[in-house]
């Protein structure tokens, strides 16, 4: 069965940049897809980041707008990370998705 059949939230393919801050050290990632529940990042994952690590993601929408979301790493693969947004972030994530959709 296709893994996407088990997802709680539908994923949307996006082309965004995000500043990822694990352990208060920033690096840049490409956001490949996004949903209310999480995101898939193309990102050079550092050795100190493991499944369960907490992250802060700063989604760069344009030169004047960025949205910060707290997340946790749930999946790691070479060059990619799957993150789940923390439940308390639901309103912020919905705002993020609305901003992305309004740019279409």
**Max CA separation in the chain (angstroms):** 42
Looking at residue 6, its pLDDT comes to 53
The domain 18-102 is placed in CATH, from the list 3.50.50.60, 2.40.10.220, 3.40.50.300, 2.120.10.10, at 2.40.10.220
Tell me if the pTM is above 0.95: no
- The whole-number average pLDDT for the span 98-102 is 86
pLDDT 10s digits, 10-36: 787 888 999 999 877 899 999 999 999
Could you tell me the pLDDT band of residue 2, with boundaries at 50, 70 and 90?
Answer: very low
Please give the share of the chain, as a percent, with pLDDT higher than 90. Answer: 62
Sequence spans of domains, the chain: 18-102
Which residue has better confidence, 8 or 11? 11
């Amino acid at each position: 069965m296709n893994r996407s059949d088990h997802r709680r939230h539908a994923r949307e393919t996006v082309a965004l940049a995000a500043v990822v801050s694990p352990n208060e050290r920033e690096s840049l990632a490409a956001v490949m897809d996004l949903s209310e529940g999480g995101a898939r990042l193309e990102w050079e994952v550092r050795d100190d980041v493991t499944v369960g690590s907490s992250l802060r993601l700063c989604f760069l929408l344009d030169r004047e707008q960025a949205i910060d979301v707290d997340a946790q790493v749930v999946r790691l693969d070479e060059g990619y990370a799957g993150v789940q947004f923390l439940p308390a972030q639901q309103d912020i994530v919905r705002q993020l998705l609305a901003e992305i959709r309004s740019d279409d």
